[in-house]
Structure 1
Amino acid sequence: MPGSSPRAGDRPDDSLIAADRTLRQFSGYTMKRAFHVIQSDLNAALAPLGLRMLSFSALVVVVDNPGLRQSQLAEVLAIERPNLVLVIDELERAGLICRNPSPDDRRAYALDPTEEGRALCGTAIHAVQEHEDRVARALAEPERQALIAALLRIETPEEGETSDG
């Protein structure tokens, strides 16, 4: 349907592929298009749990790293601190994490998951795994692993490589 975002499993019709044929030669454009499908399906998978992609990511990192400072979480998630504060507020209001004064820096807050946060995190990880299986079903496991490896190489090129394209 023109003007609507594709859902997981939907393939653009030939006229749409022809319309952006020149752009599809670029990995960034193709990744962006795939990301829109992934993001839509992921948000649908997380919505019943009261989470979004960013709040899920923040919760997982806090559960995996209790005591992490807000500034460290912002760095790990590669988002601006003011934007992160909104996500932390959301998770704290939901009773999933708590902020405590950092033991080594009273100006900073350490983030800790609550028991409810740990439980929801486990449930959400399962939902995200189902989402992954759904959106990547056309890929064989070696292709899926190769995709992740390729994306990691783009994110962190080895010495002497560049991400210029």
Structure 2
Amino acid sequence: MKKESTAKEITDENLRQFVGYNMKRAFLNVRADLADTLEPLGLRMTSFSALAVIIENPDISQSRLAEALHIERSGVVVLVDELESADLISRGRVAGDRRQHALRVTPEGAAKWQEAETAVNAHEATMFSKLTEAEVSVLKELLRRVRRPEA
């Protein structure tokens, strides 16, 4: 004899009234799809972000990269080791400071960035396909406005 479920469906209407809740739910969907997009390229969200910052800021120090990505310095060491072992970046010395490392993208890293950028653009086109270009622009602007100034 099959037992019928009497469990009531769980709703989240009380939470849906909050912008933050909706942002979190949207982010979880975007993050999951982005992870699937980057994984075949051997990248994660953090390594993709680090590569983007290093390309845009040649010779950035590891501590400045940690600041830019809002991660602990110890975490950036692991991240830089990962990117360097994949031959996507190189570590050099900062003139006048033997403790600092200057990070620079390698030719392989530049090629990987191009491939990843194309893949992420396709990911975003799919994820935000229900929005018009104008709506996507407005969404980006609104999100920039609510970010903390240092974020």
How do 1:55-66 residues align onto structure 2 when only pairs under 5 Å count?
A: 55-66=47-58
How do 1:22-61 residues align onto structure 2 when only pairs under 5 Å count?
A: 22-61=14-53
Larger radius of gyration: 2
Among 68, 74, 82, the alignment partner of 1:82 is 74
Three-state SS of the structure 1 residue aligned to 2:13 is coil
Q: Percent identity, please.
A: 48
Residue by residue over 1:118-146, the C-alpha shift from the partner in whole angstroms, topping out at 9 and shown as x without a partner, is: 01001100000000101000110111011
Residue by residue over 1:84-131, the C-alpha shift from the partner in whole angstroms, topping out at 9 and shown as x without a partner, is: 111111101100001111114221111011100001001100000000
Q: CA RMSD in A?
A: 1.2
Unaligned runs of at least 5 residues, structure 1: 1-14, 158-165
Unaligned runs of at least 5 residues, structure 2: 1-8
Q: How many residues align?
A: 141
**Post-superposition shift, 1:74?**
1.0
Three-state SS of the structure 1 residue aligned to 2:37 is helix
TM-score scaled by length of structure 1: 0.82
Residue by residue over 1:16-71, the C-alpha shift from the partner in whole angstroms, topping out at 9 and shown as x without a partner, is: 5xx11111111111111101100111111111110011100001111111100111
Amino acid at match of 1:50: G
Distance (whole Å) between structure 1 residues aligned to residue 60 and residue 96 of structure 2: 12
Amino acid at match of 1:72: R
TM-score scaled by length of structure 2: 0.89
Three-state SS of the structure 2 residue aligned to 1:22 is helix
